[in-house]
Amino acid sequence: MPRSSTRTRPVRRSRFRRAGESAYGALLVARTGLMGLLALLLLVAGVWTSWHTAQYAMLVKARERGMMTVSACAGERCTGPYVPSAGEGRRLAKVSIAEAAAPDKGARVEVTVKPGTTHAVRTGAAGILHAWVPFAGSLLLAALVVAGGMRLRRTAWVMGLLGAVLLGAAFTAL
């Protein structure tokens, strides 16, 4: 039985339709992959930035620890004298700490000094939470990318809530 010309016409439309659908599908996959890479880049940058401070706040056993008395704040840093705990290191007349992590003037705070510098990092729960604030911000930004670009709303809500809880905990602890 010979094929009629009317039958070949829908087959051609079907092929073009499938080709268009597959091209659109490829664009959707490419968009999702690109947004996934962007979200991953934001999270890695947040962890990388936080780790430069968090390692000193979290791993205090191998570091020089002591107490700092806040005597003055100028700009974004507060300064004061440093006294090592239990004779572990040298006394320093002046170390500096981030103003956001420093208590009120005249208060004493437990810190660890970065090796070879006069920069101090607050230890304890407040210091650890403060160190992870950049990661909390990257969680919030990545949540927007995941929700808008990848259409993963529940995942984005979880990421955003984790970032907000971490920021709130850091604010409350300081």
pLDDT at 161: 98
CATH number, residue 99:
2.40.50
Rounded Cα distance between 28 and 34, Å, is 10
Q: Mind listing the pLDDT tens digit for each residue in 133-144? A: 999 999 999 999
Q: How confident is the prediction for the chain on average, in pLDDT?
A: 87
pLDDT at 16: 61
Whether 11 maps to a domain, the answer reads no
- Among 54-58, 113-117, 128-132, the minimum mean pLDDT is found in 113-117
* pTM strictly above 0.85: no
Whether 112 maps to a domain, the answer reads yes
Whether 119 maps to a domain, the answer reads yes
Whether 83 maps to a domain, the answer reads yes
| pLDDT > 90? residue 25 | no
8-state DSSP, 124 = H
| pLDDT > 90? residue 45 | yes
The domain containing residue 103 runs over which residues? 60-123
Domains identified in the chain, total number: 1
Whether 130 maps to a domain, the answer reads no
Rounded Cα distance between 166 and 53, Å, is 16
Whether 150 maps to a domain, the answer reads no
